[in-house]
Structures are given as structure tokens and as C-alpha cells.
Amino acid sequence: MTARIIDGRRIAADILREVARDVEELKRDGILPGLAAVLVGDDPASQTYVTNKERACREVGIYTEVHRIGASVSQDGLIDLIHSLNMAARVHGILVQLPLPPHIREQDIIECVRPDKDADGFHPLNIGHLAIGDSQFVPATPSGVMEMLAREGIELGGKHAVIIGRSNIVGKPIATAWMQGNPNTCPRVTICHRNDPRLDEMTRQADVIVVAAGIPGLIRADMVKPGAVVIDVGINHVPDKENPRGYRIVGDVDFTAVREVAGAITPVPGGVGPMTVAMLLRNTVSAARAQAAQA
Ligand code: GUN
């Protein structure tokens, strides 16, 4: 069997068209949705992600401002900036690109973001809302994965999803959302550490594999049940002399081998990545709408 390729770029483009319509509607009501992005340091991957988010905002008509700050910024300096964005009426959503430099405590920064401007959905209050089934903002990558599966018509009720990677950004929130969701439409969930010694035994039981481990080639063909759906959240830069940039981007799945076994699979690039951007923008529009309703 050769797997169906799930085209994240196409699905994300559909969502961005919907977001653009919502932005138009808000503008007619005198509200210009705004997103502030904070990028600390010069990590090339983070720079690319923030540039992609900025470009997508422009495309859908969302006001955007990017605060690019040197890696030597103090924690207090960064907190001052977040406080000013919390107060800024033009800004409805705030995203602080992670990771932050080691001298800054990431969790302290996340907790400074006003929960109703937390477009990333990383604040403990929003994580708590998600955990009790009353979500305000679902983190963008997990909601991108769920939206992509829904729009591809992939039924999850009664299925078994195995999630590899227990990060606060991907693994935990997607497991939380599915645990909390309607059992007719959400799978049962197993969550594994990427170094789980019985990982292959776990993945072979999966109807759906979601891998967010940051390890190129972690998921091999022999780890996948024939016909399973494989969602690759990994974005890894691997050296490549043939490529003018000196590297290429690969996921956590051995795509060439696994596509011969799986029923459906996301490519990297062009799978989950564009979905994350689209869902962040959708969260920003929701934030703008909610803040306007409160005003
Ligand atoms: N770093 C990796 N993924 C993300 C994300 O979704 N949001 C932010 N803010 N940082 C990230």
C-alpha cells in the first residue's frame, strides 16, 4: 500500500482564506486583529518560523509587529516588554517564540502573557481550560493536527492514537484534548517518551501515530501497522551538501519507507508546519473577537 499524502499546505491555505474572511468581518466592525511576536536571539529555525507567521498575518490582513531582541536580554527586560504588549490595545494576541535562551526561565515568561492574549495557548490557565474541556485557546500545533485529520475525513472514534513526545507544546496538549473530547470522535490515547524502550511495540498498536520527538528517522516502516495514519510533527535540520543552504528539513519519520506501509501520512516540509501557522492566526482572530466583546 502507498499512503495518501496529507497536504498541509493546501489545508492551511483553506483555513487562511477563512481567517481572511473573518478578519474582513471584524474590520467592518472597526476591529483590526493584531498579533505581536517576540523573538529572542538569532536561532535560524526560530527566525524562519517567526518570518512565516509574520508573512501569513500580512496575507490575511492581521496587523503584526515583531519584536526581535538580542539573546543577552535580561529576564526582567523581557517581562517588561510582555507587560507593555499586554497593555497595548492594538495587540490581541502575543506569541513568544520558544525556545528562549537558557538564562531565561521559559515558564516565567509564558505566565506573564495575559491569558486572553495567549494566542499560543501555553499559559497554565489555558492549559487548565483545555484539560477540563473548556478550552479558550488550543496550542496551534495540536489544533493543527486535529483540524487536519478532521478536514481529511479521518475518523478517530474508537481508534488508538500513540503520541511520541511529551512536550508542553505538542504531546501533552494533543493527548489532553483527545482525552477530554467526545469518545465518538476522539481516539484513546497512549503517550510515550521518545526514549521509551518499548516504543516500537507501542507504535505497532497504533491506528494513528503522532510523533513530535525531534529525532530524524525515529519512526521506521517496521514500527507502523499497515494502513495507520502517520502525523509527523518533527522539524529537523540535517546537514546536506547538495542543498544550497547546506541543510535540508526532515521530520521524525522515515518518510520514503513508511509511506509504503501507512494509509495516510504527512510530509515534512508541507505537513503540520503550515497548519501551526494557520491555527495561530485563527487563535488571534478569536482573541480579537473575544476582547472586542469584553470592551
Ligand atoms: N517553538 C516551537 N513551536 C512553537 C510554537 O508553536 N509556538 C511558539 N511560541 N514557539 C514554538
Q: What's the CA gap between 211 and 231, in Å, rounded?
A: 6
Q: What is the atom index within ligand 1 of the atom nearest the CA of 46?
A: 1
Q: What's the CA gap between 265 and 4, in Å, rounded?
A: 6
Distance from residue 157's CA to the centre of ligand 1 (Å): 28
29 is catalytic: no
Marked catalytic residue, from 22, 97, 207, 232: 97
SS3 state of residue 219:
strand
Distance from residue 198's CA to the centre of ligand 1 (Å): 28
pLDDT per residue as tens digits for the range 71-94:
999 999 999 999 999 999 999 999
Helix then strand then coil, % of the chain, to nearest 5 = 45, 15, 40
Q: What's the CA gap between 275 and 266, in Å, rounded?
A: 11
pLDDT score recorded for residue 277: 98
| pTM passes above 0.95 | yes
Ligand 1, atom 7, lies closest to the CA of 97
Rg (CA), the chain: 19
Q: Is the pLDDT of residue 153 over 80?
A: yes
Residue bearing cell 516502516:
221
The mean pLDDT of 156-182, rounded to a whole number, is 97
Q: Beta-carbon neighbour count of residue 163 at 10 Å?
A: 28
Phi, psi of 173, deg, nearest 5:
-65, -35
Average pLDDT, the chain: 97
pLDDT per residue as tens digits for the range 9-30:
999 999 999 999 999 999 999 9
pLDDT score recorded for residue 29: 97
SS3 state of residue 108:
helix
Q: What's the CA gap between 263 and 223, in Å, rounded?
A: 14
120 is catalytic: yes
Q: What is the atom index within ligand 1 of the atom nearest the CA of 140?
A: 6
Marked catalytic residue, from 120, 207, 252, 254: 120
Q: Is the pLDDT of residue 154 over 80?
A: yes
Q: Is the pLDDT of residue 1 over 90?
A: no
Q: What is the atom index within ligand 1 of the atom nearest the CA of 276?
A: 6
Query: What H or E segment, with its residue span, contains residue 65?
Result: strand 63-69
Phi, psi of 183, deg, nearest 5:
-65, -15
27 is catalytic: no
Q: Judge contact between 275 and 144, C-beta under 8 A.
A: yes
Distance from residue 158's CA to the centre of ligand 1 (Å): 30
pLDDT score recorded for residue 117: 98
Parallel/antiparallel/unpaired status of strands 188-192 and 160-164 = parallel
Ligand 1, atom 11, lies closest to the CA of 98
Q: Beta-carbon neighbour count of residue 89 at 10 Å?
A: 8
- What percent of the chain shows pLDDT beyond 90? 99
Question: Which of 97, 141, 236 to mutate to test ligand 1, by most ligand atoms within 8 A of the CB atom?
Answer: 97
Helix runs in 29-159, H state only: 44-60, 75-87, 106-112, 124-131, 140-151
Q: Is the pLDDT of residue 295 over 90?
A: no
SS3 state of residue 179:
helix
Query: What does the CA dihedral 73, 76, 81, 85 come to, rounded to 10 degrees?
Result: 150
pLDDT score recorded for residue 267: 98
Marked catalytic residue, from 22, 53, 207, 252: 53
Residues flanking ligand 1, CB < 6 Å: 95-98, 120, 140-141, 169, 276
The grid coordinates of residue 286 equal: 478569536
The grid coordinates of residue 14 equal: 483553506
